[in-house]
Each structure stands twice: as C-alpha cells, then as structure tokens.
Amino acid sequence: MSAAAQSRNRRGEGERLRDALLTAAADLLSEDPDIDHLSVRTITARAGVTHTAMYLHFADKQALIEAMKTACFAELTQALTDAVHDVPDDPVAGLRAAGEAYLRFGAARPGHYAVMFHSARAGVADTPDTVRSAGMRAFHQLVDLAAAVVGEADAHDAATNMWLALHGRITIRRSMPWFPMSDDITYVREQVNALTQRRPRTAPVTHE
C-alpha cells in the first residue's frame, strides 16, 4: 500500500506535485471517509514527499481541502451528466435519474461528499470563486432539468428544494445510519412529484 515516492520533479514540472497531493488525498479519503483522519502528514507521505512539501503548492491545509472541493464537485457534475445522458428524452425521467445519481454519489463516496460540504473557512476569508462556481456548475445541472419541467421562472427554486432534500437525506444517512428510511428511488420519485405539483410559487409576493 501507498507511497509512489516519485523522485524530485524536473525543472518545469513542479506543478505535478500539486496534482499528486490532490489525488493522494482523494485516495486516502476513499479508504477512510472520516475527514478528521485526513492529515497533512498522511497525504504527503502517500505522495512520497515530506510533510512541509505541501506548502510549496498550498497556503495551508484548508487551501488543499478547497482544491479538493472543486475536484469533487467536478466529479459529481460528471456523475450527474452521465446519469442523465443515458436516459430517454423525458425531462421528468432525467430529473429522476439525476436525483438517483446524486444519492448514489453520496453513498458511494461519503468522504468526497463530506469534503464538498465541509464548513467554509471560519469567519473572514470567504469561499474562493473557483469552489463556488464548481459547486454552481453541479447545481445548474439540476436547474436545467427542472426548467424543462416547471419552466425557467420556477426552475431555480424547484431545483433548490430538490437539492436540499437530497442533501439532507445523504447527511442524515451518514450521521444517523440507524434511522429508518424508505428506499432512495421512492424518495426521489416523491421529490420529483412534489416539484411538478407545487403551486406556481406564491405569485409576486406572499398574500395569504
């Protein structure tokens, strides 16, 4: 197990270590989904370098994790794209496929999923734009599908509702695995139904 111990990169290729560290971290997270067990030392060791080598490419551990976030979001986006791709042209079916793929991703890669939604940098310094847009790219897949079902105007809110429902399910499954829940497919279907049947959004503004 482990340590590719690559011998020192050549002159122009220092960036290679950056990728090596990211994939090392991703590998470790696949083996142990608990994000607290992911230390700078184990990551760098797995990549075959000493711990402080990380600081050549990342400002700190948090920066590395943020880089992982964008990578994980990209992976999720791909998973959703794939799932929707091999499905007939029915928008509702596409939405279901996406929802199921989302739940599958969360269950199959719990560590990666946890990284994506790990609390933002405490306080001041906000989430970098790269992370934000990577997240948004994944989310907009749902929005586009929803638009084909409920129309452009309601798409964002509808997709948000569905997303929050899916996310809630994955996180509860993780923190309370003993909690009894129906199967994923039924759940997704319910969510899609709720989406199609919801009132056309309280007009301009609340009234009752």
Partner DNA sequence: AGACTAGGTTGACAGTGTAAATGTACGCTG
Partner DNA sequence: CAGCGTACATTTACACTGTCAACCTAGTCT
By CB under 7 A, residue 52 contacts DNA: yes
By CB under 8 A, residue 202 contacts a second copy: yes
Amino acid letter, 203: A
Report the alpha-carbon distance of residue 123 to residue 70 in Å, rounded: 20
By CB under 8 A, residue 168 contacts a second copy: yes
Give the residue with the Cβ less far from a second copy, 12 or 177: 177
In the bound complex, what is the minimum distance in angstroms from residue 200's beta carbon to a second copy? 12
By CB under 8 A, residue 56 contacts a second copy: no
Give the residue with the Cβ less far from DNA, 123 or 204: 123
Distances (CA, A) of 155 to 102, 139, 149, 187, 200: 18, 11, 8, 20, 11
Give the residue with the Cβ less far from DNA, 45 or 107: 45
Q: Which token pair is 86?
A: 């091999």
Q: Which token pair is 132?
A: 């934000």
Nearest to 64 by CA among 19, 117, 106, 126: 19
Q: Which token pair is 191?
A: 């969510």
Site for a second copy in 172-191 (CB under 8 A): 172, 174-183, 186-187, 189-190
By CB under 7 A, residue 158 contacts DNA: no
Rg (Cα) of the chain, in Å, rounded? 20
By a kind-dependent CB cut-off of 5 to 8 A, residue 90 interacts, out of a second copy, DNA, none, with none
Distances (CA, A) of 52 to 34, 40, 69, 92, 177: 23, 8, 21, 50, 37
Which range, of 42-50, 74-82, 131-139, 168-176, touches DNA by CB under 7 A? 42-50
Give the residue with the Cβ less far from a second copy, 42 or 160: 160
By CB under 7 A, residue 13 contacts DNA: yes
HSE-CB at 64 with a 13 A cutoff on CA atoms is 27
By a kind-dependent CB cut-off of 5 to 8 A, residue 152 interacts, out of a second copy, DNA, none, with none
In the complex, the residues that contact DNA under the rule CB under 7 A are 6, 8-17, 38-42, 49-56, 60-62
